[in-house]
Structures are given as structure tokens and as C-alpha cells.
Structure 1
Amino acid sequence: MFKNLLVCKNMDNQVIVIGTDHHNTLGIIRSLGEEGKLPIVMLPNLKLAFITKSKYINKVIWFDKPNDVIDILLRDYVNETNKAIIICAEDVSISVIDSHYDLLKNLFLLPNAKKQGRINYFLNKDNMHELAMKVGLTVPKSWYLKSGDVLPTDIEFPCISKPCSSIVGGKNEICVNRNIRELEVNIASNKDFLVQAFIEKDYELNIVALAYNHGNDFIIPGVIRKIREYPVNSGSSSFSVLDDYKNYPEIELEKIKAFVGEIGYEGLFSVEFVVKDGIAYFLEINMRNDGNGYVPTSMGINLHYLWCKYLVGEPIVHPCNLNTPCYFMADTRDWVHVMKGRVSMKRWLEDKKKTSCYLLYNGKDQKPFFAFIRNKIFKI
């Protein structure tokens, strides 16, 4: 296990988590709570949010529009004795924080890329992939289509289309297209789109990590290999394993570090790849907490708390001796594979037996899991 990572527990700074009603945000809350830090959680107004049942929450603040977050921060949290720390759980919140960086940087401790708007610039997949190629990462053959553009004649099928910006486009807009007609239908909205050659992947990899000192230093616990996902072919991990990165030589860590260093980013991040015939194809970087961000915490390396320690000037001791592999499960999603007959009950129980981390159920913080189940049953 990791040793002597979190030796100092006298941090007086308030921590504010901006997120949604999702296990991504819940993972941050639990990581902080397990170290004695009960965060303030800012959420969009919902009828009922299951994550608010966590025992690790200090206070919940509801907001109507993303930019309301800025008004609330400036109204209520600029007079703290110690600057409040802000952690973002999804793209919209990091985009809003980055858009107001000049206003916030002297008042709060923030994820940043040294310059206002720089994170947003690289959230655009066109700019993101240009930098990836510059540092030597392999990127699938791509076409960038502005709204209203005539389709290039050299697009190869099948291809995958996705909005250039994750701020204005959701995962439901990521589509596999078998012909030009399907592509025309799937990019018909008034947005810019990225189209890429569809790669029949052998498997998918994800790196969940922490960058600090503006991308000059890193803590990378390992590499996540996706075993099952839901929805199939377009969803997030439902059953995966975090393993030693040395088992995946196709992942070139130095190029990933160069990529983040070029941006100058510091904060929590993740990078996604698909692998075919031993080649790792870069898909995207997420400059905020990843949905699997709690998994390293369950193994003894709490990236969220380490980030807070760095921000307040406390020393960070680098991890060593990671016990891998660590199997983890998005418990409520992975069960769907059994219900739909894709995975046998025997196989699922075998996988469950070797699972050491669940993204929703947590024996130390059970109420969010049961609130989620109740909401699903009664469709709240």
C-alpha cells in the first residue's frame, strides 16, 4: 500500500465541491470525508439528489444556472480566514471557473492553467488533438466540422462523431456512423463536430491522475483497463481494473506529461485511450475529477486530499508499493449486463468476488446507495 501519504490533518481551509448528482461528485466527497474534511457541495437544483445523503457533507448549496456558482462564491466565501479550495467534478463547472479565473485566482485555491480561458481552449477537441499530435501521441484520423460546413468527401466509414465541445454536447450525441446519411443526421444540430475513423478497439485504457506545479509534477497511480461498459460501446466503465502502468507499455507516460505540461495545467485530470494492435490512440483529456477518481483512494492514494495539501503548501510524499490489480465496479450499472443476458450470473458473481471498490455502494457511507435505489424504484 501507499505509505506516509497523508500525515498532516490540520488543514483549516474550507473545501467546495462543484458537481452533479453522480458518483463522480460522490467520490470526491468520500475521499475528503475519509480524511476528516467535510466539504460544501454545490449542485444544480434537483427534486432530490441521492449524493446529499452522504455522511461526509458539511452543507449543500443549490444553484439554478452554472454562472450562479460565481455569484455564490463571491458573495459568501471570499472572507474566509483561509482561502477556500474549489474542486470541479464535471466539464461545465471547470469551464465556468476557468472563464472567471482572473476574478477568482486571488480569492480561492483553484485548478488552473495559469491563464484565464486556457482550460476552455483545450476542452475544444480540435485544439486538444492538435496539441496531442504535437507531443507525439497517436490520434485517430480526424475531420473537424464547423456548423454548416459541407462534408469532406474523404471521410472514412464507419466513423464516430462527437461535439467538439463537451460543454454544449453530451455523451448521447456521440454516435457511430456507418454511412454518410447517418452522419448527416447525427451532426444536424447547430454545433461544431469532431469526426474520427472508428477504431475496432481491442480494449480501452484510462489514466486518472494529479498534476501539480503547473504540469511539472505528477502522481499517476496506474492505468485503468475497461472490462465492461454501460451503455455498450458508448458508456462509462461498469467493471474495470486499475493496474500497474508497466503492464501497458503502449501508454507513453512521458508524452502524457508533456501534453499536460504544455497546457500548464494543475489539478485532477484523466486521459482516455483506445488500443488496437498494440497502438494506443488518444481520445481526450478531462481537466477535472474523473468518474473513477475514488478508486485510487480505495487503494490508499487519495488524489483529492493530496491536491488540497499541495494547494495549502503542505508537503506531498510520493506513493510507492501499490498493491495491484484493483478491480472495481459501477455496481448499479454493471448489473444491467446480467439482466440483459450479456453476462452470466456465475461470471458476474465471480467478478463481484474479486471487486474491492464499488463506485456507489460504500460500507462506510451507505445511505447514498440506498437513496439511489429508492429513487430508481419510485422514479423520483
Structure 2
Amino acid sequence: MRPARALIDLDALRHNYRLARRLCGGDDGGGRALAVVKADAYGHGALRCAAALEAEADGFAVACIEEALALREAGIGKPILLLEGFFDADELALIVHHDLWTVVHAPWQVEALERTPLPKPVDVWLKLDSGMHRVGLEPRDYRDAWQRLRALPHVGALVKMSHFARADEPDCTRTTEQLDAFAAATAGLPGESSLCNSPALLGWPQARAGWARPGLMLYGVSPFADPAHPSAAQLRPVMTLESKVIAVRELPAGEPVGYGARFVTDAPTRIGVVAMGYADGYPQFAVNGTPVAIDGRPGHLVGRVSMDMLTVDLTAHPQAGVGSRVELWGKQVPAAQVVAHSQTSSYRLLCAGKRVPLEYRG
């Protein structure tokens, strides 16, 4: 069997969720946290991750109803929020039947709820565009929408929410501006609020009240460029992407390696060929020197990543050879280090896995 695989540490996942819940004031402070498991739990496997968290999670968040129904079919009974809401009024019947919560972010969705009587109340999270300008009601329309929904007998809890655009930039004033916009638009409206994504939860204490929505941090990856960020330093990586050396080449100086001769040896060099490529989710444009771990020791990538294979420098690893374990990211090689060498983001890195099998522990 091909040795490429992704090891998923469910104990680390639970640790990260507990950290998120403590930061938002869980247990003693009244805060709660929805574990965001959209996009197949950022590539970690939504069904297994949700099952691992269900005993302690306050609920889950997904992008759309298809993802929610897959969780329900797998036996997940905790609340599930549809972050993009419903795309058609016909979905409201399914939302009620499966006890889902829905975001409402557009006037047409408010109107759909007004003209669609439901057999039992549905909880609604009413989203304000506080400055990200993606989805959400305009501040001038928010209060009227809230009052219209509150008047409906088939609307249950009504949670006020928004989303930050630049919370992963600690020195940027945009998050403070969005907080102020949210406070102004919702002043005097009762009920709970939800503002924090992962970077806001980790880096903006003034935004932590109410429901948090941790996503990236659940999987042990910091949203910040600074690896020493105090809260993010407590995270534990959940995914370890690894494979093995399948061939070794002894090359003299002056020899090119891989497509395009992007790397040329400047001295006699041992090259290890690893069964891992961009079809497995490893970034195609990782540069020479991107860190890896070879049999537990620091090493680095050389040459261009191809679809099924990549190459590493074994010159300083005389003990390594065919069968040696290579960690591409995980407990020894932080995903953020790979991101910094790869013209990509942590989100895309985690979600890019395709054919690599997931193996669960913990």
C-alpha cells in the first residue's frame, strides 16, 4: 500500500476545543462554542471529528444543509448551525425537520420566513455586515429585520452575529471598527451574540462574549503570522501528514532534480524520493528548503513538487534510506512553516487533501 497518510489526533482536537471554550468563558462565564466542521472539518473528516467532540461540544457549524444532513445521518444530535443559511425557501422544511439552526443574512431570507409558516420554531442567527462586506444585513436594515423576525411565532431564539475580516492582524484597527459597528447596530436588542472566529477568539478578548465559532484553531493551526502568539501557542496540531522514502539517488555536483531543474546540486548529494505530491494535497509551489522531518530529524525539500512524488535532501541523514518516515507537517513540522514556504494559506493547506487516507487516533 502507498505509504502516504494523514494521522488525525482526536485527543488534540478535544484539547483545542476545550481551549476555545475556556477562552469564550465556557462553564463559569456563560460563553459557548460551536465547533466549525464545514468542508469535511477542514480536511480532517467531519463525521469522525464531530463524533469525537459531541460529548462536550455545545454544537456544530457547517456551511450548508448538505453538510448538516450528513452529520444527522451519522447520528450527531447536537445543534448544527448553517453558516450560509438556506439557499431556497423550500429548505426551511428540512431545517425544521432535522432541528437545524440557520443564519439569516439577506432580506429575501427574512421575507421567506415571514411567508412560510413552520410547524415548530426554528432558531435564527441574524447576521450583520459590520464591515467585511461579504454577506450580512446592512446596519441600517438590521434592527427592522430583527423586529420582524422576533414577531414571528415560528422563530425561536434570535442570535445577533457578525464576522471579522482582519482579526488575524493583531495591530489592525478594522476589528475594533467592526466591534463598534456591531454595538451600534444592535444596541438595545436583547438576546445572545456571536462574533468570534478563531483569530478573534485567540487575539481579541473584547469580542469573546456569547457564542464563539472556532474553526481553524480546532485543528491546531494558528491564524497568526507570529508563531509565538501566547494563546495560539497552546494549540496542539491535529493532523500529521506523512509518507516514506521510496527511492534514493546519489548525485554528483551540477545535476538537476525534478521538473524544470529548479534545484541543481552544488555538491555530491543524496536525494530521497517521497511518495507524496500535490495530488495528495501537498502544495505544488513549496520552495527549496521547505522544512520536513526525516526519521524525526529536521530536513528539507529540494526540487519541484510533482503530482505523486517530491524529493528531499538526505545528505545530512546518512541513516535514512528507503522506508524512512517523512513528516510533511504535524507535530514536528508546524503547518505554518509549510505555509510560509508555499504561497498558500493554512486554510487551503488543510483542506487540500484528496486521496490521502485519514487514520484516527485518540
Q: Same fold (TM over 0.5)?
A: no
- TM-score scaled by structure 2? 0.30
- TM-score scaled by structure 1? 0.29
Greater Rg by CA: 2
